[in-house]
Amino acid sequence: MKKIIPLIILFFVCLSITFALDLQGALKSSDEALKNVTSNAGWFLQWGNEVTEDWIIKILHEKWITIHQDWTSFNPSRDIRRDEAAKMLTLAIPFLPNGNKTSKPKEVSCSFYDENVAWSDLKEVIKQSCEKGLFKWSNWKFNPEKSITNWQILTVLWRMLYGMQDESNGHYASKYISLLERDGYLDNISIPQSKRDNAAERGLLAKLLVRVIE
């Protein structure tokens, strides 16, 4: 009997070690799985609908691109002004995978006759968006109070990612749209030709920005 007791104790010690190792392995696998889900969040957003709209705003809020913290408070269905869009797009530049590819032509000035029409806290970012080559203007007017259009947003996104293209043939955004579609940035996003020059909604810009920076 005395010989059996040590054997029983040894058996339970071995069992405890095995259980601990299995538990440690399970926890490690769970951590790795969680890391994979986190690192692939951008992939989910690009190819499917698994990522929630609140998650989109959370990402933009964490990067100081918006002050809002959830989809509802972000007012996704509201039109977005050009100065507001300029702010979000300009603030997203540091998070681009390969940096900003655009640059302002040396002969171009970034002073506008109508900058006082912009929201007071966005005047400086309008100038920055010009200096970084994101936005163009007409007759020295930025038109900050006007709504940015669907295809203007896509054009600026392409300039951010890959630089300026020849915009002289056909609609200025046509080439940009084709290239964004080629690279998967517009998967599950449909903007009909008939609405290309319609005012863009805030929600569209948020979804596109997260695809670009994630």
pLDDT of residue 106: 61
Domain boundaries, the chain: 1-39, 52-213
Residues in a beta bridge with 149: 199
Residues in a beta bridge with 201: 79
pLDDT of residue 105: 60
Query: Is-contact 166 44, C-beta < 8 A?
Result: no
Residue with tokens 């405890």: 16
Q: What is the pTM of this model?
A: 0.73
pLDDT of residue 172: 76
pLDDT of residue 165: 73
Walking along the chain (214 residues) 10 residues at a time, the average pLDDT comes out as: 49 47 40 37 44 94 96 97 96 84 66 92 92 83 95 90 77 82 89 90 96 88
pLDDT of residue 75: 97
Query: Is-contact 86 147, C-beta < 8 A?
Result: no
